[in-house]
Amino acid sequence: MEDLDTLVLRTALGWQAADLPVVLVTVARTWGSSPRPPGSLMAINGRGETVGSVSGGCIEDDLILRIREGGVQAACATTTPTVLRYGISADQAHRFGLPCGGTVDLVLELVAAHTRLDELLQACQERRSTERVLDLRTGQVELRRGSRDGVPRLDDSYLSTYLGPKARLIVIGAGDLSRYLCQLALSLGFEIIVCDPREEHRTGWSMDGVVVSHEMPDDLVLRLRPDARTAVVALTHDPKLDDLALIDALQSDAFYVSAIGSRRNTAQRKERLREHFDLSEPELQALHGPAGLYIGSKTPAEIALSIMAEVVAVKNGVRLSPSAQVAEGKSHHSPGLDAPVGHSIPVQAYQV
């Protein structure tokens, strides 16, 4: 499954190749409560067909109506980009479904060769983070290397947005838990690779949209070179496989590295990695273990949910409080000290 930015770029280019006029719409700035964050993309073709989203639907409906009634010129009056503001009054906020009087600035631009969407799409496919600088006076675009999670900026002359690779999940071990984890990750737009060199576990394990590898975990991690948009989760319970993946993953730029297991097993794993593989304390501290947030998980589906919740929290920059403790006597499978558990996260125990 493609992430939404890639889908918008690919669809817009397809429409352009079919000689349909296309308008690219970018959420440039918001105030108050807004359904979609700055940087969100949407494209509309001359028939009023859309891909992506800039609101809960009402703003899209207004833009579609403009185009159907007056062509793309009705939404983008000139060949240079246009800035539209929605929700500036309480009546508009109510009309366009903006909660709490929220206001949204949109930048609309006609898709053409100088918009460089083909180069931007290629950069995303090659996992290169890119800053796109749009000159509002001319419509010309400059592409630069940039952070995937940079904050969009809009002024009188330029709009700067940031795009890059979709989030990627490397799962060590093919099994029931892996299957549920991958289903959730697919629905969240992750690129997924499942690695298991054990033929008896891997045979029959397949899922549309998931790449299955029979490489040794350390070979796979070294080959893929996890970047800051990659998470690595070890699920085999076999130290010969899990530890191999963790050693290299913890020394990479991966934003999240974890392994399933009990608190006791997690402590033993960290001691092994410290003594036999000479990992540093900061590298060991980066290991999330036991994997997942504590939600009282008991089934593979619930455990997968707890793990993906933690992956998404870390990806989105949620800072978990040190006071958040593992709930004693709680586990994913059965009560007891040695049962796999996650971190207990009270609502008040995290900050964005």
Q: In the prediction, which pLDDT does 125 show?
A: 83
> Residues 235-244: pLDDT tens digits?
998 888 988 8
Q: In the prediction, which pLDDT does 316 show?
A: 83
Q: In the prediction, which pLDDT does 334 show?
A: 31
In the numeric block, which tokens belong to residue 143? 């592409």
Closest CA to 83 of 105, 61, 55, 114: 105
What is the CATH T-level fold of the domain 168-351, as seen in this structure?
Rossmann fold (3.40.50)
Q: How far apart (Å, rounded) are the C-alpha atoms in residues 31 and 140?
A: 27
Which range has the top average pLDDT, 91-105, 199-213, 308-322?
199-213
User: Binning pLDDT at 50, 70 and 90, where does residue 137 land?
Assistant: very high
User: Binning pLDDT at 50, 70 and 90, where does residue 148 land?
Assistant: low
- For residues 69-93, give the mean pLDDT: 73
Positive or negative, the CA dihedral 238, 240, 241, 244 is positive
**pLDDT score of 100 more than 80:** no
User: Binning pLDDT at 50, 70 and 90, where does residue 168 land?
Assistant: very high
In whole numbers, what is the pLDDT of the chain averaged over residues?
Answer: 82
User: Binning pLDDT at 50, 70 and 90, where does residue 321 land?
Assistant: low
Is 305 or 345 the better-scoring residue by pLDDT? Answer: 305
Lowest mean pLDDT among 62-76, 107-121, 145-159: 62-76
- For residues 158-162, give the mean pLDDT: 94
Report percent pLDDT > 70 for the chain.
82
**Which CA distances in Å does 138 have to 36, 83, 114, 143, 198?**
27, 13, 10, 15, 57
- For residues 187-194, give the mean pLDDT: 91
Q: In the prediction, which pLDDT does 43 show?
A: 95
DSSP state of 211: E
Positive or negative, the CA dihedral 296, 297, 302, 307 is positive
Q: Which regions of the chain carry the CATH code 3.40.50.720? A: 168-351
- For residues 100-107, give the mean pLDDT: 79
**pLDDT score of 152 more than 80:** yes
Amino acid letter, residue 219? D
Residue with tokens 């549309």: 208
